[in-house]
Amino acid sequence: MQVPSGFSRREFVKTLGAASAVTAGGLVLAGPAFGQAPPAQVETNIADFMKVPRTARSLPGPFPGKVVKVTDKRSLVNDRFDGKVIDEMFRKGLTALTGKDPKESFRLLIDPKDVVGIKVNPVGPPLINTRPEVVDAVVAWLVENGIPKSNIVIWDRFDYMLTDAGFTKERFPGIAIEGLQTMDETGNKWRGRDGNHVSIDNFDKDVYYYVKGVVGKGVRGYPDDEFYLNQHVFNGEYSYFGKLVTRKLTRIINVAAYKNTGASISMATKNLGYGALCNVGRLHAPLSLKASVEVLAAPVLRDKLALNITDGLRGQYDGGPDKNAQFVYDNHSLYVATDPFALDMLCHKEMNAKRKEMGVAVNESPRITEYLRYAESLGLGVVADEKMQVVQMAQG
């Protein structure tokens, strides 16, 4: 496999797993134009998810349609992040969201007996990934309200990406750092002695997202089926959720980065929707971000997602979802919501405005945000303008 100029092999491998590009009216995985054509009608198991009764804590949480944006220019100065200021921003955003102080906010969203997973986005370090300083603020809030560090897990799909982005046991002592799977960049060490992927036991065969006829072979954007399997653990029509999500975590805090993916965004919805299960590269062409909506409808996510934070201290308005320094800018903001779809609608509108400001083409077709309206139709979020409540706070 030839690595393009300007990429290390490691960065190229990550890009294949994360990148997306614009087509006329939709989004597909970037890469060579080969692979299976998507079926005309894509059948999934979303109906099975929707049959499961909801709980008092199910999406969109206690504040449907409400998003708080906190901006403070002191948070990032000369490429240096101020953890103290970022902690203040998080707490002010939390209070503005709930109408309660941070301690009472905790009681509203999380129980001291919970095992809390902090889902980060480690793609694009050091420019455009979830910042460790934001996670510091979340951890401090959890610990001071009774969650022991042993009951906190910082997690993502790939273990090595967490390390690359600074999420290590040395940086976060006492806290588990867990990737759902291993991907071997050399392409020859990812199988165990039994011939299966070394990560096969990390996934729950009883909890899955099913997409009929989309089988994880000949997937556009991957050099061959073997390379795809290296990244995705399984082929076939089933994407299995990680056992971390299904069996260990009782609450999830979703901490996304502020970046684009083609004409759309790669923020709260996609961070969790494409990060909590395997065999997902196959989903880009037939389903795109609609898959994220349906994955978040699964009870193991829908009933556990407590809070969403989009790390907009930096933003990237083009060239995403991996880093591209040409399009990175200081945005000095954190966004807080229990409703990830309302959060993404606000950020999508902001991203479009930034792209226009910078002279980048904007696709304003309603199809680009159709997935968010689909989420609203399922009762998972509130994204209609007249129903959303946006609170903007500027300090510093």
Sole residue written with tokens 């989309």: 214
Verify cis geometry, omega within 30 degrees of 0, for the bond prior to 126. Answer: yes
- The pLDDT of residue 395 is 81
Evaluate whether residue 133 is within a structural domain.
yes
Residue 150, pLDDT > 60, answer yes
Is residue 249 exposed (0-12), middle (13-18) or buried (19+ Cβ within 10 Å)? Answer: buried
Eight-state DSSP code of residue 211: B
- Taken as a whole, the chain contains a residue count of 396
34-86 pLDDT, tens per residue?
334 445 579 999 999 999 999 999 999 999 999 999 999 999 999 999 999 99
Residue 25, pLDDT > 50, answer no
Eight-state DSSP code of residue 326: G
336 is in which domain, residue-wise?
56-395
- The pLDDT of residue 138 is 98
Evaluate whether residue 172 is within a structural domain.
yes
Q: Give 13's pLDDT tier (boundaries 50, 70, 90).
A: low
**Which pTM does this prediction carry?**
0.92
Spatial neighbors of 24 by CB under 8 A, at least 6 apart, are none
Evaluate whether residue 77 is within a structural domain.
yes
Evaluate whether residue 289 is within a structural domain.
yes
Q: How far apart are CA 263 and CA 6, in angstroms?
A: 24
Evaluate whether residue 112 is within a structural domain.
yes
Residue 32, pLDDT > 50, answer no
Evaluate whether residue 328 is within a structural domain.
yes
Residue 19, pLDDT > 50, answer no
Domains of the chain: total: 1
More confident residue, 339 or 9: 339
- The pLDDT of residue 259 is 97
Mean of the pLDDT values across residues 247-255?
98
Evaluate whether residue 292 is within a structural domain.
yes
Tell me, what CATH number does 99's domain have?
3.40.50.11440
Sole residue written with tokens 């022991």: 148
284, β-bridge pairs: none
In this structure, of 163-172, 216-225, 253-262, the range with the lowest mean pLDDT score is: 216-225
Evaluate whether residue 26 is within a structural domain.
no
